[in-house]
Structure 1
């Protein structure tokens, strides 16, 4: 078996790990976010062999492919536990650094929403800004619940005091969701500047 065949076998093994996690830790309304993400990620890593020039790069590429599948499996396990078990309040879980995070709250005692914050791949029409999507899923156990999604514009320029974030008034007026948006950005390593949170008169409205 030559190197190409062995690398493809590794890809198929990584895909098996991801599919096994999908089957073992079913997450209903989150499937439309997680399954496309991991398959896209594995497909991109599958193509790295074409640009691999030496043994060190090969070692790095194979490690990234294997670890992506393993980390995805652990992530699904953690999210499944967040929803179906009791314990400490679940944190925001990082799917992809600086780009994708999920907070799934426990539904054991009462139904609670799940939050998804994801940077979109499409280039923003606004210069100096990136487009994100913030989704609130009211019934995460329902695969058909598409949730409420909001476009979030985030500055890509350097701002030492916090990165300006612009959202729709509907999201800003729902303060519990708005606060979760702030927590999501912090979890991703982004310090956001959300005007309504730092408005000194916000409690008078």
Structure 2
């Protein structure tokens, strides 16, 4: 078997690892995010052989294929456990090289939403801002639950003190979800500046508007 055939065999094997994990760890509403991501990543890696110029590059590319499949399998195992098992409060899970962040909360005692934060393709950006998607899945075990999605605009300029983030009023009013959005960005290594959290006068204004303040 020549190198090209062996490389493709590795790619098929990596896909088998991913499919086996999907069968073993069913994640309902999360699959519409995870399945396309891993297949896109594996497809990209499977096409790298033609650009390999030396043995070290070949070693790096084959390692990336195997590692992507193994990490995806482990990620699904963790997320399944987060939802279905008891234990410490589940953290945000990072997908790939910070392509996406997911927080699947335990549903053992009560049903809780799962949160997905991901950057969309660069083609959806606007000048000066990157477009992100924040999705709240109310019933994560249900494959038919597509969740409630919000567009999030993140400044792409140089902001050493934190990155301005703009969201809709609908998301801002969902305080628990809004807080999770902040946690998701921190998990991805981004320090967000969210108006409703960092505006020191916002609470006073809300109290005045409700008629309980001066």
- If the TM-score is normalised by the length of the shorter chain, which range does it land in? over 0.9
TM-score by length of 1: 0.97
Unaligned 5+ runs, structure 1:
none
Counterpart of 1:199?
199
Give, in whole Å, the separation in 1 of the partners of 2:137 and 2:125. 27
Is residue 152–residue 165 contact of structure 1 (8 Å, CA) maintained in 2?
yes
Structure 2 distance, partners of 1:145, 1:111, is 13
Aligned length: 205
**C-alpha distance in 1, partners of 2:122/2:161?**
27
Partner residue in 1 for 2:132: 132
The equivalent residue for 2:189 is 189
Q: CA RMSD in A?
A: 1.0
Tell me the TM-score normalized by structure 2.
0.93
Distance in 2 between residues matched to 1:202 and 1:146, nearest whole Å: 32
Query: Match of 1:54?
Result: 54
Structure 1 runs of 4+ aligned residues shifted over 4 Å read none
Please tell me whether the aligned partners of residues 68 and 96 of structure 2 are also in contact (alpha carbons under 8 angstroms).
no
Distance of 2:24 and 2:156 partners within structure 1:
38
Structure 2 partner of 1:16: 16
Q: Tell me the CA shift for residue 99 of structure 1.
A: 2.6
- Counterpart Cα distance in 1 of 2:84 and 2:202: 35
Does the Cα contact within 8 Å between 1:97 and 1:188 map onto a contact in 2? no
Partner of 1:146: 146
* Secondary structure of 1:101 counterpart: strand
Partner of 1:85: 85
Residue deviations 1:11-36 (CA, integer Å, cap 9, x gap): 01100000000000000111111111
Separation in 1, partners of 2:180, 2:63: 34
Distance 2:125 2:2 in 1: 46
Greater radius of gyration (CA): 2
**Matched position secondary structure for 1:197:** helix
